[in-house]
């Protein structure tokens, strides 16, 4: 299949459509406005729905409603806009609805600025909204990887009935790369496979089959049971869905950890250092929740490894995982952070 | 005579890269050169990021207000008038992508009309490996839209078909075939075919019709991301 040269925003939007997304709700914000722009032209062509909401809060609630029908629904925004969506995301997580949310990170906190950043790692991996929930969260490092992840993101979201979050950054959305776009997936809502979906209950139908989309549990006991079922799902995801990349770490004396676009800068640095004879490698989480803790420990906690360097475009948020990798024989000072 | 080149085209067709190449070439030939960043659409990967490089070559660079400052509300600076008012040998306009981007240049159509005949080249930079420029119909459609919005008549096309680091001569052939047809249908000539030296030489050696190649233009790449060159997927 021929390669095309695509901008990250366009490619991610097109991949979502090819993966079966037919509903997009969003609100413009730099550096991801090209995603809604692309969707606004493309969705009508394929009989889908593009709707520019009056705000991010409205957009995520539209996602909540549309996802309840079992359709493939997506929204995108950038950091401050994703903050606005957090209440809705928490509701969607509680209601166990599959959907895909894109965060094209920019500088923060607050309105911040429009340059690329990785400052929303905490928000993405440790909740964001209220309550005990997680999002299956991927941090793609290239446009092709973002496309490839998109092609299974809806399947995962539906399998576990959780929202999937793409933790991308402005560089991924704005840069251009040659990519291979997969074929269109033939997606249709199958009510048999999605008994939870509100697909049209009529008076006279079996009352037990009525789909109720809800995140309110007035009885404490019921809420407790609900939370236990959510947690059981998260344990399952932690067991099955961890993804990472090891790059030249087999004989590495120095391990650098990085996610997303930054890992590419690191990869170039690894190659340059290798050419000088330095035994250095990269460990890159692809899923940042669930975090590949075991793989990091296996990579970093070895006698041959002299030091681990963590590189992020933030104040070292992923570094907080150092407890997972730290060699108990080295008391502190094992992991250093390099802030960009 | 003052020569002006206005580069318009589809997003990601390579306008900025070519603008830098044309400007460097002119400056190296000792010409007084002005380069105008008229991209009012993009906030990332824009000409002004290479400001230091252009100034070192004694090229005057004009940028939109707030370009590269972390604000997306760019505005056209009054300095654009210097392109018309001052005594340059070569002036190059790097315009934003698609019809939306071309709108910015329409503001100056009266100034362009006052130029001497033959002084102005309006060049449509085409990369047929971009999804919205991949067929004859798409190139024709974009061309028409951009002419309306820029209020300028396109004088020539540039076959700049590429896949960034994954480019082969196949890309130039793909662009050639499409632009040949576009040229026949629109009457707009292919003014240049551009590429890295080895790639372009290999393409030229294949013996295609020179009418649809125009001037060969060997280019360097200045807009690439310094920090990487890999294409990465999960497969």
Helix (H, G, I), strand (E, B) or coil at A16: helix
Residue A7, token pair as written in the block: 């901008």
What integer is the mean pLDDT of A25-31?
Answer: 96
User: Would the pTM count as exceeding 0.90?
Assistant: yes
Q: Please indicate, yes or no, if residue A332 is contained in any of the structural domains.
A: yes
Residue A331 confidence (pLDDT)? 42
Are B44 and A175 an interchain contact pair (Cβ–Cβ within 8 Å)?
yes
Distance from CA of B27 to the nearest CA of A (A): 28
**Which residue from A91, A28, A26 is spatially nearest to A64, judged by alpha carbons?**
A91
Residue A16 lies in a domain: yes
* Judgement on whether residues A166 and A273 belong to the same structural domain of the protein: no
Q: A141 is written with which tokens?
A: 């490092």
Q: What pLDDT, in 10s, does the model give residues A52-109?
A: 999 999 999 999 999 999 999 999 999 999 999 999 999 999 999 999 999 999 999 9
Q: Which of A179, A195, A220 represents a domain boundary (last residue)?
A: A179
Assess contact for A244 and A285: CB atoms under 8 A.
Answer: yes
Contact B164 A176 (CB under 8 A): yes
Q: Which residues of A touch B225 (CB under 8 A)?
A: 175
Task: Supply the CATH classification number for the domain B3-218.
Answer: 3.40.50.300
- Which tokens belong to A311? 């590189």
Are the C-beta atoms of residues A39 and A9 closer than 8 Å to each other?
no
My answer on whether A82 and A175 are in the same domain is yes
- A80 in helix, strand or coil? helix
Which of B44, B131, B166 faces A31 most closely, judged by CB atoms? B44
Q: How far is A145 from chain B (nearest CA, A)?
A: 4
CA distances (Å), origin A58, targets A25, A51, A89, A109, A249: 9, 11, 12, 22, 45
| A267/B127 touch (CB, cutoff 8 Å), yes or no | no
DSSP state of A195: T
Considering chain A, what percentage of its residues have pLDDT values greater than 70?
A: 94
**Claim to verify: residue A36 and residue A117 sit in the same structural domain:** yes
Q: Quote the CA–CA distance of A156 and A191 in Å, as a whole number.
A: 18
Q: How many domains does chain A have?
A: 2
Q: Which sign, positive or negative, has the C-alpha torsion A162, A104, A288, A184?
A: positive
Kindly state whether A149 is in contact with chain B, defined as any CB-CB distance less than 8 angstroms. yes
Tens of pLDDT, residue by residue over A140-192, are 999 999 999 999 999 999 999 999 999 999 999 999 999 999 999 999 999 99
A69 touches A195 (CB < 8 A): no
Q: Is B190 helix (H, G, I), strand (E, B) or coil?
A: strand
- Tell which of A134, A164, A179 closes a domain: A179
Mean pLDDT of chain A: 92
Residues A142 and A31 in one domain: yes
Between CA A167 and CA A118 the distance in angstroms is 8
What is the per-residue burial (b if ≥16 Cβ within 10 Å, else e) of A2-35? ebbbbbbbbbbbbbbbbbbbbbbbbbbbbbbbbb
CA distance B232 to B98: 28
DSSP codes joined into one string, B63-80: --BTTTTT-S--B--GGG
pLDDT at B72: 76
The torsion angles phi and psi of A13, rounded to 5 degrees, stand at: -65, -45
Given this model, what pLDDT does residue B27 score? Answer: 97
| CATH code of the domain in which A93 resides | 3.40.50.970
Angle made by CA atoms A241, A246, A248, in degrees to the nearest 5: 170
Do A170 and A256 fall within a single domain?
no
- pLDDT value at residue A174: 93
Confidence (pLDDT) at B144: 97
Instruction: For A30, name the nearest residue in chain B, comparing CA atoms only.
Output: B72
- pLDDT at site B191: 98
Same domain for A281 and A154? no
Over residues A319-328, the pLDDT tens digits come to 765 554 554 4
Contacts of B11 in chain A (CB under 8 A): 7
Length of chain A: 340
Query: Which one has a higher pLDDT value, A332 or B82?
Result: B82
Listed residues A179, A194, A222: the one ending a domain: A179
Is there a single domain that holds both residue A165 and residue A84? yes
For residue A197, being part of any structural domain is answered with no
Q: Which residue ranges of chain B lie beneath pLDDT 70?
A: 226, 228-235
Is pLDDT larger for residue B200 or for residue A329?
B200
Say if A286 falls within a structural domain.
yes
Q: Nearest Cβ partner of B228 from A113, A149, A264? A: A264
Report the percentage of chain A scoring pLDDT > 90.
84
The ipTM estimated for the assembled molecules is 0.91
Cα–Cα distance list, B100 to B12, B97, B142, B146, B157 (Å): 14, 7, 11, 8, 19
Mark whether A249 and A164 lie in a shared domain. no
Asked whether A12 and A36 are in contact (CB, 8 A), the reply is no
* Amino acid A333: pLDDT: 39
Strands A163-169, A136-138: pairing is: parallel
Confidence of residue A1 (pLDDT cuts 50, 70, 90): low
Structure tokens at A325: 């990798």
| A199 found inside a domain | no
For A8, the 3-state DSSP assignment is helix
For chain A, helix (H) and strand (E) counts, in that order, are: 12, 14
Residue corresponding to tokens 């076959």? B159
The answer to whether the beta carbons of residues A48 and A23 sit under 8 Å apart is yes
Query: Can you give the C-alpha Rg of chain B in angstroms?
Result: 17
In chain B, positions 107-166, which contact chain A (CB-CB < 8 Å)?
127, 129-131, 134, 162-166
Q: Is the pLDDT of residue A313 over 60?
A: yes
- Which H or E run includes A271? helix A262-275
Partnered with residue B94 across adjacent β-strands are B7, B37
Euclidean distance between CA atoms B51 and B225, whole angstroms: 15
Q: Could you tell me if A43 and A17 are in contact, meaning their C-beta atoms sit under 8 angstroms apart?
A: yes
pLDDT recorded at residue A319: 75
What does the domain layout of chain B look like in residue ranges?
3-218
Evaluated on CA atoms A18, A20, A23, A27, the torsion sign reads negative
pLDDT for res A6: 96
Strand partners, B91: B4, B34
Does the residue A208 lie in any domain? no
Higher-pLDDT residue of B38, A315: B38
Chain B interface test: which of A176, A181, A311 (most B C-beta within 10 Å): A176
Q: Tell me the chain A residues in contact with residue B231 when contact means C-beta distances shorter than 8 Å.
A: 142, 144, 177-178
Nearest Cβ partner for B43 among A31, A148, A177? A31
Specify whether A142 is located in the same domain as A286: no
Minimum mean pLDDT range among A280-289, A293-302, A327-336: A327-336
Q: Could you tell me if A170 and A249 lie in one domain? A: no
User: According to the model, what pLDDT value does residue B68 have?
Assistant: 84
pLDDT digits (tens, 9 = 90+) for A223-235: 999 999 999 999 9
Quick one: A175 and A297 in the same domain?
no
Say if A31 falls within a structural domain: yes
Q: Decide if B230 and A107 are in contact by the 8 Å CB cutoff.
A: no
Query: ω into residue A109 within 30 of 0, thus cis?
Result: yes
Alpha carbons A314 and B191: distance in angstroms, whole number: 47
Can you tell me the distance from the alpha carbon of A80 to that of A106, in angstroms, rounded to the nearest whole number?
8
Is A203 a member of any domain? Answer: no
Unique residue bearing structure tokens 């906690």 = A301
Task: Give the per-residue pLDDT at A149.
Answer: 98
Q: Are residues A175 and A255 in the same domain?
A: no
Full residue range of the structural domain in which residue A48 is found:
4-179
Q: What CATH number should be reported for the domain holding residue A333?
A: 3.40.50.920
B122-149: pLDDT as tens digits: 999 999 999 989 999 999 999 999 999 9
Q: How many residues does chain B have?
A: 235
């Amino acid at each position: 299949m021929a390669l095309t040269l695509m901008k990250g925003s366009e490619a991610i939007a097109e991949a979502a459509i090819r993966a079966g997304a037919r509903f997009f709700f969003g609100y413009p914000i730099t550096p991801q406005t090209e995603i809604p722009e692309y969707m606004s032209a493309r969705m009508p062509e394929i009989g889908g729905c593009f709707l520019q909401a009056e705000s991010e809060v409205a957009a995520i609630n539209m996602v909540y409603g549309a996802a309840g029908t079992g359709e493939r629904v997506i929204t995108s925004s950038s950091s401050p806009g994703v903050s606005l969506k957090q209440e809705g995301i928490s509701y969607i997580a509680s209601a166990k609805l599959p959907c895909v949310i894109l965060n094209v990170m920019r500088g923060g906190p607050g309105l911040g600025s429009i340059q690329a950043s990785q400052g929303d790692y905490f928000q993405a991996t440790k909740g964001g909204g209220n309550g005990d929930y997680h999002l299956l969260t991927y941090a793609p490092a290239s446009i092709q990887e973002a496309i490839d992840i998109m092609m299974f993101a809806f399947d995962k979201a539906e399998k576990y009935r959780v929202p999937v979050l793409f933790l991308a950054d402005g560089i991924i959305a704005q840069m251009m790369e040659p990519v291979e776009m997969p074929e269109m997936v033939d997606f249709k809502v199958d009510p048999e496979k999605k008994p939870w979906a509100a697909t049209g209950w009529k008076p006279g139908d079996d009352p037990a089959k009525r789909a109720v989309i809800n995140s309110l549990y007035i009885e404490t006991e019921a809420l407790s049971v609900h939370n236990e079922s959510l947690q059981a799902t998260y344990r399952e995801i932690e067991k099955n869905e961890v993804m990472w990349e090891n790059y030249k770490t087999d004989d590495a004396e120095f391990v650098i950890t990085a996610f997303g676009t930054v890992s590419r800068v690191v990869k170039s640095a690894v190659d340059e250092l290798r050419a000088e004879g330095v035994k250095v490698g990269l460990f890159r989480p692809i899923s940042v929740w669930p975090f590949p803790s075991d793989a990091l420990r296996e990579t970093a906690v070895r006698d041959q490894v002299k030091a681990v360097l963590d590189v992020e475009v933030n104040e070292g948020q992923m570094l907080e995982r150092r407890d997972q990798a730290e060699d108990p024989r080295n008391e502190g000072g094992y992991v250093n952070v390099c802030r960009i | 005579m003052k020569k002006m080149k206005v580069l318009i085209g589809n997003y990601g067709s390579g306008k900025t890269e070519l603008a830098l190449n044309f400007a460097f070439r002119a400056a190296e030939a000792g010409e007084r050169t002005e380069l105008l960043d008229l991209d009012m659409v993009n906030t990332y990967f824009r000409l002004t990021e290479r400001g230091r490089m252009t100034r070192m070559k004694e090229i005057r660079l004009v940028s939109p207000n707030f370009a590269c400052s972390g604000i997306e509300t760019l505005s056209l600076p009054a300095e654009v008038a210097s392109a018309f008012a001052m005594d340059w040998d070569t002036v190059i306009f790097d315009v934003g992508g698609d019809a939306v981007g071309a709108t910015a240049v329409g503001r100056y159509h009266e100034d362009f009309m006052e130029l001497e005949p033959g002084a102005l080249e309006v060049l449509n930079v085409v990369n047929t490996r971009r999804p919205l420029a991949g067929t004859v119909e798409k190139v024709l459609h974009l061309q028409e839209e951009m002419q309306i919005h820029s209020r300028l008549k396109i004088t020539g096309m540039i076959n700049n078909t590429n896949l960034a680091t994954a480019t082969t001569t196949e890309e130039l052939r793909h662009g050639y075939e499409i632009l040949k047809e576009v040229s026949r249908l629109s009457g707009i000539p292919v003014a240049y075919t551009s590429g890295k030296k080895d790639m372009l030489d290999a393409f030229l050696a294949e013996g295609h019709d020179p009418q649809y190649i125009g001037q060969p233009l060997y280019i360097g790449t200045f807009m690439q991301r310094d920090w990487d060159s890999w294409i990465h997927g999960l497969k």
